[in-house]
């Protein structure tokens, strides 16, 4: 693990950036909880092409809302949010850039427990932190093909093997964020960011935080979601010169997940057909 670039520096305020799509059920609670975090004086929600009332609910909860007319993916939403923070600072002639705390939209009230992520960054002990759930609980994204691919890719690229390579809950300095730009597309943003910052000699640490996600599930939609994640992560790693073998592995895993989704869809259709026949 590298030494922090600016150890000993007093931390400025923190801006919370939340990328959201179709999260009207939880975004209000997430925004309100994030706004109460120590040192957080701005919450920016990027509505990434939602088809529901995500933007309106976030705004009513007190967030500054930015909108993508169509879904552009997580990496693009994170960049839009950071740019929104920069513009807010320019408008109020703020001298010190805020640190950036990225949180997922589905954390709900548990976002109030995200403070430990910001503390090492504000104190200068780290350039970026990544959320890690305690070992006594299921780790965020701790299992499965996507996480294994990301973990292996980061290890090969940097020598460091994170437990939570895809965690969307992370805090970093503005300088660290700029060092990671442009972010990898879609769900590859976090893995790409970790590789880029470690290669740049910045300090990245995982921090235990008691956060709660909505379960992804195991249905057709969940399998397709994981297939998209795999494609994005594999592309992010390939773009960072990690070799064709890792990219091929990512493509194989993606195809396997898509195949599993097709099988699950057929089984679901068969069950619906049987149920319909029984009702007749």
Q: How far is the C-alpha of 85 from the C-alpha of 42, rounded, in Å?
A: 8
Q: What is the pLDDT of residue 142?
A: 40
CATH code at position 201? 3.90.550.10
Q: What is the pLDDT of residue 6?
A: 45
**Does 65 fall in a domain?**
yes
Model confidence over 85-130: pLDDT tens digits?
999 998 887 668 999 999 999 999 999 999 999 999 999 999 999 9
Predicted TM-score (pTM) of the model is 0.81
**Does 3 fall in a domain?**
no
Q: What is the pLDDT of residue 69?
A: 95
**Does 221 fall in a domain?**
no
Q: What rounded mean pLDDT belongs to the chain?
A: 85
Q: How far is the C-alpha of 230 from the C-alpha of 154, rounded, in Å?
A: 14
**Does 238 fall in a domain?**
no
> What is the extent of the structural domain holding 88?
14-215
The b/e string for 187-212 (b: 16+ C-beta within 10 A; e otherwise) is bbbbbbbbbbbbeeebbbbbbebebe
**Does 194 fall in a domain?**
yes
Closest CA to 208 of 269, 264, 131, 102: 131
Rounded to 5 degrees, what angle do the CA atoms 132, 76, 153 make?
50
> Per-10-residue mean pLDDT for the chain, 280 residues long?
49 91 97 97 97 97 97 97 95 84 96 97 96 60 74 93 94 97 95 96 96 71 78 89 59 54 55 65
Q: What is the pLDDT of residue 277?
A: 65
How many domains are there within the chain?
1
Q: What is the pLDDT of residue 223?
A: 72
Q: What is the pLDDT of residue 267?
A: 59
């Amino acid at each position: 693990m590298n030494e922090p670039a600016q150890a000993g520096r007093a931390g400025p305020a923190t801006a919370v950036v939340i990328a959201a799509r179709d999260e009207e059920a939880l975004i209000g609670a997430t925004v309100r909880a994030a706004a109460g975090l120590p040192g957080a004086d701005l919450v920016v929600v990027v509505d990434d092409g939602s088809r529901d009332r995500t933007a309106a609910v976030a705004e009513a909860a007190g967030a500054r809302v930015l909108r993508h007319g169509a879904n552009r993916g997580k990496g693009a939403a994170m960049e839009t949010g950071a740019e929104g923070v920069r513009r807010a600072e320019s408008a109020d002639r703020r001298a010190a850039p805020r640190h950036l705390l990225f949180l997922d939209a589905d954390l709900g009230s548990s976002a109030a427990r995200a403070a430990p992520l910001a503390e090492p960054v504000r104190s200068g002990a780290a350039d970026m932190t990544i959320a890690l759930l305690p070992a006594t609980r299921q780790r965020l994204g701790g299992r499965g093909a996507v996480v294994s691919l990301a973990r292996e890719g980061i290890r090969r690229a940097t020598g460091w093997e994170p437990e939570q390579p895809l965690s969307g809950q992370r805090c970093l300095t503005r300088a660290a964020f700029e060092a990671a730009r442009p972010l990898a597309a879609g769900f590859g943003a976090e893995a790409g960011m970790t590789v880029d910052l470690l290669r740049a000699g910045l300090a990245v640490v995982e921090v235990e935080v008691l956060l709660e996600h909505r379960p992804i599930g195991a249905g057709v939609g969940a399998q397709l979601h994981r297939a998209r994640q795999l494609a994005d992560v594999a592309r992010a790693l390939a773009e960072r010169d990690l070799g064709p073998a890792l990219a091929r592995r990512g493509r194989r895993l993606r195809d396997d997940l898509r195949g599993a989704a097709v099988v699950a869809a057929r089984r679901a259709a068969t069950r619906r057909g049987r149920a319909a026949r029984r009702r007749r």
